[in-house]
Amino acid sequence: MSTPRTRNRIDGAQRIAEEIGAAIVAGRYAPDAPVPGEIELGRRYGASRTVVREALKLLSAKGLIASRKRTGTRARPREAWNMLDADVLAWRLRGGQAEPKFVSDMLHVRAVVEPAAAAMAARSHTRKSLRPIEEAFAEMERTAHDRVAFADPDRRFHKAILVATGNDFMVAFAALTETALGAFVRIASRHRGAPGPSVPLHRAVLEAIRRRDAEGAQAAMTALLDRTARNVERNVRGRAPTRARKARVCKTDR
């Protein structure tokens, strides 16, 4: 059981890690640029060296910084970041904004993963693992004309499908990308009438999974993701990379 002192130390380290991590992700520290060290961070945040060291360890584990004796602590390049870390995802989405490359990359990844996951869920689901999908969809129907209320059951619907595959790596993907799914809900729902029209497409995915129709589930998920890709592209028009508009594999869920 943690003591108040321990909790304060953890909270302090997380606060420092969040502010420095968000700054790195936002590009305020270029790759290999020096990041404030222990003494400066301690002075800036009024934190002990122990707290600062814990914060730096958190950032190092996320691939955002590297510390060396001669060169000090420096920001690492984007390719070193742990992109599926929940904090890194949240920092990239801070302020409700998603950079075009982030959107495009996530569209590609979801287009590869989620149709296959729907097919796996159709083959492998149990009564227990199907229930969260059904419950999330029922709530989506109730909130179909409220884009804010719709966001949470939409995330749960897609996460539950990944969990229903019974595949540990799919489950890990679901847990790590839950934060990012919210970004697509917001982006894809900016147009008039959203998110109601997506409900029948979600229903088609659920019904195919229920009847254990793997091919049908994969096709239904692909159709659902294709609709979202078009909505996302429309709502970020002028900011999205050209390849996201040209590549039909850029798909997600609205």
CA distance 179 to 184: 10
Say yes or no: do domains 4-80 and 98-246 share a fold.
no
Tokens of 157: 């619907």
Q: Which of 97-111, 185-199, 214-228 has the lowest mean pLDDT?
A: 185-199
3-state secondary structure 34-92: ECCCHHHHHHHHCCCHHHHHHHHHHHHHCCCEEEECCCEEEECCHHHCCCCCHHHHHHH
Structure confidence by residue, pLDDT tens digits, 115-147: 999 999 999 999 999 999 999 999 999 999 888
Tens of pLDDT along 71-86?
899 999 999 999 878 8
Model confidence pTM above 0.85: no
Specify the fold of 98-246.
Four Helix Bundle (Hemerythrin (Met), subunit A) (1.20.120)
**Domain range summary for the chain, segments of one domain joined by +:** 4-80, 98-246
Strands 72-75 vs 65-68: parallel, antiparallel or unpaired: antiparallel
Q: Counting every residue, how long is the chain?
A: 254
Q: Which CATH number fits domain 4-80: 1.10.10.10, 1.10.390.10, 3.90.1150.10, 3.30.2290.10?
A: 1.10.10.10
Contact (Cβ atoms closer than 8 angstroms) between residue 176 and residue 87: no
